């Protein structure tokens, strides 16, 4: 694809069905980047093993994530979509990179400290090496640009450092320092209106939910905490429902809601009903495509197998150069 600007790579954790936060923060960008870049997207099941105990869930969750990505508009004819463990070269590169990784750097990372706090009883060796495996993902496919949220920025910086150390130590230029594209949109809050939307907090709205489930979830959303009675004037700028209206509702209606909320012309219940309608309408084509794919699991597995084959070809090319660089006997 010579007309494209370079190669994008990103990994997405197999957390099962995607929610609105996953969609707006990552998936939507993955889809858009396909127009300008040659894209490689990977569902990182090996990374998930650092914290997941039930591998049966891992299998289902990986498949559900693949359905969401494909239904959202990842085009497997051009983009490489695959499952991380289907390209075992990544674990080999991970081992080589680990030799140029100072241990203290890994244990100092804020993301590592967070994981230890969340999972004090499962601080395994793999968890410490999480960023090294990520660096292996990125460099294995000779990535120019990595689209990630701001929480992952330290890992990209870490990858750049590891690339420099590796190339210096082995006197080579085989690994490429990736650039980072911050794809963060204003944080998507959960239905509690307080915390970032996340499955573990159960404050999320699944994009594959039925219209009815979606409506129910939206009706539970916390709005402007100052607005208690229907007649109280509202403050749209602090309301999470309004924040989402701005993304999914036509501008004229957003302007109307802005004005009417402030003078209590529209109540929160009506405002949420409108949002539910607009969101359901926006995701109708997605849900239809997703249902069609879910009805053909063999086809989805074939897409992932084809992606893995193309990914392995790129990976093996890099690894041949890497093995030469480290001068394995």
Q: Does 100 bind ligand TRP (CB under 6 A)?
A: no
Q: Does 44 bind ligand TRP (CB under 6 A)?
A: yes
Specify the residue, 44 or 303, whose C-beta has the smaller distance to ligand TRP: 44
Nearest to 311 by CA among 119, 81, 118, 136: 81
Give the separation between CA 192 and CA 100, rounded to whole angstroms.
44
Q: How many residues bind ligand TRP (CB under 6 A)?
A: 12
Give the separation between CA 169 and CA 172, rounded to whole angstroms.
8
| Of positions 4, 6, 13, 105, contacts ligand TRP by CB under 6 A | 13
Kindly report the backbone phi and psi dihedral angles of residue 194, in degrees, each rounded to the nearest multiple of 5, phi listed first.
Answer: -120, -55
Active site residue 199: yes
Q: Does 76 bind ligand TRP (CB under 6 A)?
A: no
- Identify the residue whose tokens are 């809601």: 257
Specify the residue, 109 or 293, whose C-beta has the smaller distance to ligand TRP: 109
Q: Does 132 bind ligand TRP (CB under 6 A)?
A: no
- Strand extents, DSSP E, 136-242: 145-148, 179-182
Kindly report the backbone phi and psi dihedral angles of residue 237, in degrees, each rounded to the nearest multiple of 5, phi listed first.
Answer: -65, -20
Kindly report the backbone phi and psi dihedral angles of residue 224, in degrees, each rounded to the nearest multiple of 5, phi listed first.
Answer: -65, 115
Q: Does 148 bind ligand TRP (CB under 6 A)?
A: yes
Give the separation between CA 197 and CA 189, rounded to whole angstroms.
5
Own/partner contacts of 91-95, CB < 8 Å, gap of 24 or more, are: 91/46, 91/133, 91/136, 92/319, 93/136, 93/139, 93/140, 93/318, 93/319, 93/322, 94/129, 94/132, 94/133, 94/135, 94/136
Q: Does 138 bind ligand TRP (CB under 6 A)?
A: yes
| Of positions 47, 227, 272, 274, contacts ligand TRP by CB under 6 A | 47
In the stretch 151-170, what mask flags binding to ligand TRP with x, by CB under 6 A? -x------------------
Specify the residue, 63 or 141, whose C-beta has the smaller distance to ligand TRP: 141
Specify the residue, 98 or 235, whose C-beta has the smaller distance to ligand TRP: 98
- Separation in Å, CA 175 to CA 96, 159, 318: 12, 10, 8
Q: Which stretch binds ligand TRP (CB under 6 A): 7-15, 60-68, 242-250, 271-279?
A: 7-15
Q: Does 323 bind ligand TRP (CB under 6 A)?
A: no
Specify the residue, 39 or 257, whose C-beta has the smaller distance to ligand TRP: 39
Instruction: From the candidates 199, 229, 272, 273, give the one annotated as an active-site residue.
Output: 199
Q: Which stretch binds ligand TRP (CB under 6 A): 132-140, 184-192, 261-269, 304-312?
A: 132-140
Q: Which stretch binds ligand TRP (CB under 6 A): 5-13, 189-197, 252-260, 296-304?
A: 5-13
Burial 52-62 (b: 16+ CB within 10 A, else e): beeeeebeebb
Residues that bind ligand TRP (CB under 6 A): 9-11, 13, 44, 47, 134, 137-138, 146, 148, 152
């Amino acid at each position: 694809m010579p007309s494209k600007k370079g190669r994008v790579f990103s990994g997405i954790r197999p957390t099962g069905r995607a929610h609105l936060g996953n969609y707006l923060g990552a998936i939507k960008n993955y889809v858009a980047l396909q127009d300008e870049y040659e894209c490689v997207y990977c569902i990182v099941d090996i990374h998930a093993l650092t914290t997941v105990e039930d591998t049966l869930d891992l299998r289902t969750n990986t498949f559900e994530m693949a359905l969401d990505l494909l239904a959202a508009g990842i085009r497997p004819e051009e983009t490489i979509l695959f499952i991380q463990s289907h390209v075992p070269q990544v674990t080999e590169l991970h081992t080589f990179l680990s030799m140029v990784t100072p241990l203290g750097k890994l244990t100092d990372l804020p993301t590592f400290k967070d994981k230890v706090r969340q999972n004090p009883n499962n601080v395994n060796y793999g968890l410490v090496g999480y960023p090294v495996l990520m660096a292996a993902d990125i460099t294995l496919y000779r990535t120019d640009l990595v689209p990630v949220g701001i929480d992952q920025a330290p890992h990209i910086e870490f990858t750049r450092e590891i690339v420099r150390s590796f190339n210096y130590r082995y006197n080579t230029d085989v690994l490429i320092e990736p650039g980072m594209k911050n794809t963060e949109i204003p944080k998507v809050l959960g239905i509690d209106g307080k915390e970032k939307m996340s499955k573990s907090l159960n404050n999320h709205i699944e994009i594959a939910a039925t219209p009815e489930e979606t409506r129910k979830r939206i009706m539970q959303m916390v709005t402007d905490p100052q607005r208690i009675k229907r007649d109280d004037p509202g403050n749209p700028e602090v309301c999470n429902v309004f924040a989402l209206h701005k993304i999914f509702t036509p501008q004229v209606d957003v302007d109307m809601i802005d004005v009417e909320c402030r003078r209590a012309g529209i109540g929160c219940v009506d405002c949420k009903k409108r949002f539910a309608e607009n969101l359901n309408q926006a995701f109708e084509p997605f849900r239809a495509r997703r249902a069609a794919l879910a009805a053909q699991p063999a086809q989805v597995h074939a897409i992932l197998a084809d992606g893995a084959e193309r990914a392995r070809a790129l990976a093996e090319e890099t690894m041949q150069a890497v093995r030469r660089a480290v001068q394995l006997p």
